[in-house]
Structures are given as structure tokens and as C-alpha cells.
A = this chain, B = another copy of it.
Amino acid sequence: MTKSPILALSGGVGGAKLVLGLSKIMPPKELVVIANTGDDEIFHNLHVSPDIDTIMYTLAGISDTDRGWGLSRETWNAQEMLLTYGTNPWFNLGDRDLGTHIRRTDLLAQNFTLSEVTRKLCEHLGVNQIIAPMSDDPVRTRIKTKNGDLSFQEYFVKYQCKPFVKDINFSGSKLAAPSPIFLNGLNQARALIFCPSNPFLSVDPILSINGVRKSVIDFKGPKIAISPIVDGKAIKGPAAKLLLELGHEVSSVGVARYFRDLCDIFILDNKDSHNLNAIKHLGIETRTTNTIMKTEADKISLAEFVLSLTKTFHD
């Protein structure tokens, strides 16, 4: 009998690293990964789900670890033609990656839900863990900046996170329902993990979905969050810059404050152990370990640490 699963909430690259670690030490069907889809966007009439794909490609062992995103053995010939046709492809779409977007779009047009499509894609890639979108309904992260209102990809890729962010909201989230797998996980999982993803751009969109924040707060099992900020800097991406611009302390303390009502245990990096007391004062149980995942051993090591905490909590 499969044990009740671990529910991991994840954005893209950072989250996928921990998910990969977890996948190496757990029965696959016990790992349920909920991917942020606020970053999804339509390019050339094709539905692109960057976080789902990053997690899926990572677990399938076909992601390009040198480049840090996308697929290995990638080529860019379709995009070269799209450029010839006068389009402005600021979002890079590799040929193999396009195979995914073409298949996804085709299946969505056949009225499969994004959850069903994701399951099908994972099956064919040999991914046995469960990956599901946060919602089958469209939720889109909109970033209000001093340079205007941007989609996530415009902010992140086109403008390389440069514009000063004033506010972030999640278009469609009030009307969106959690995906069936997410809802099931919120009710039945034995633990909930906030992967080391950007709070504002990866966790918030998930929590913005109708009813999810309350379900997470009411979640019965242990809830563990890992800080994506180490030594006052983001391991990757604009998390530190956003903490600053949105008026938070740019440190693991700032992140801990974000997670105060959401998690039982907050994990920060060994390098941030000087913040331990400040975080304990927030009333959060904390642990320190190495959270920087460069090698597969790093990923497994952090995953083991997180998994052991879920057991301690239960005992």
C-alpha cells in the first residue's frame, strides 16, 4: 500500500532541485509536486508551462543542467524561422521544447485539462512521480512595475527582472480551483514542503488560488519551508530584489516572516545561522543545514534532511 504522499509546492529551477533530491529517496507515487502555473504564457499560440516543464524535464533526466533551463541536446531552428517571419522571440523556445508545447497545446485543444495533459506528458517521459499544475484554470501572475504592468515572462525574461516592482497580483486566481491532485494532496498528504522557490513569484500564485491559503494553514501534517535566500542573496532569480522592492527585510528573516503563518519548520542555510534567534523570535521552529544544491549529493542531502523532519514531527 502506498503511504499518504508528501506534497511539494514548487516553482521552477530551485524547487526542481529539491524535488529531484526527494525523487531519489522516496517511492515515486509518494511524491506529489504541485507546480506554479502563474508563469504560463501563450507564445505563437502555443501553451508554455515553464515550471511544470522544468520539474518534468528534471525528473525525466533530460534537462540541460549546464544552461540551467530547458532541454539537453537542444537546437533552435524553428525559432530561427520564427525570427525570419518577423516575430520577436524574446522567449527562447528550443526545438525539442517546442515538441512539448505543441503536444500540450494540441491536447488542451482536445479539451484535456492541464492536469491530464501533464500526466500524459510525464508518462511518456517515464516520470513516475506525480506532477500537477496548481490549477487547471488560468491564473496569470501580473507584475506592476514602474515601467508598466507585465506578465511574469515579460518581467523575468524580456526585461530580465530589471523594472522596479510595486505590486504583484494573480489574474484569475479568485475564480480558479486547485487542481484535483492538489486538492487531494491538501486533504491527504502526510507533509507539505515549500520548496526553495521565490515566495512572491512561485509560492504566492499557488496560495492565491481560491481556498488554498486557508487549506494550507489548516493542513494537518508538518509544513516545512526552505529559504531561497542565503546570506542576503537569492541563489537564483529576483527573490532578494523583490524582498527589497516590496518592503521586506532582504534576508532569511524576511523570508521566515513571510512563512510565519504557513509553516511549522523553517530551514535556513548554515551560512545564515546568525539569523536563528531572530527567526525563533517570530515563533517559528527553525533548522539549519546546507541548502545550496549544486551536486546531486547536495540535493539528496537536503531532501533527506527535509524528509527526516517530517518524520520527527510525526513522532
Contacts and interface: CB of A to CB of B under 8 A. Distances in A.
Nearest to A46: B102
A96 B77 contact: yes
Interface in A81-108: 81-82, 84-87, 94-100, 102-103, 105-106
Interface in A29-67: 44-46
B124 A99 contact: no
Given A82-B99, A84-B124, A106 B75 contact: no
Contact of A95 (B85, B95, B105): B95
A288 interface: no
A75 B77 CA distance: 7
A99 B74 contact: no
A103 B80 CA distance: 12
Interface residues of A, number: 32
A96 B124 contact: no
A75 B76 CA distance: 10
A40 B161 CA distance: 42
A273 interface: no
A125 interface: yes
Contact of A85 (B44, B97, B120): B120
Given A75-B77, A77-B75, A109-B45, A85 B103 contact: yes
Contact of A77 (B45, B99, B125): B99
A217 interface: no
Determine chain A's interface SS by DSSP, over half rule.
helix
Contacts of A98: 78, 81, 95, 98, 102
Contacts of A120: 85-86
Contacts of A95: 75, 77-78, 95, 98
Contact of A81 (B80, B86, B100): B100
A105 B78 CA distance: 14
24 contacts: A44-B102, A44-B103, A45-B102, A45-B109, A74-B77, A75-B75, A75-B77, A75-B95, A77-B77, A77-B96, A78-B96, A78-B98, A78-B102, A81-B96, A81-B98, A81-B100, A81-B103, A85-B99, A85-B103, A86-B120, A86-B124, A87-B103, A95-B95, A98-B98
B86 A99 contact: no
A235 interface: no
A97 B109 CA distance: 22
Contacts of A99: 77-82, 84-85
Contacts of A125: 84
B45 A85 contact: no
B106 A45 contact: yes
A183 interface: no
A46, A98, A100, A102 interface centre (most CB from chain B within 10 Å) = A102
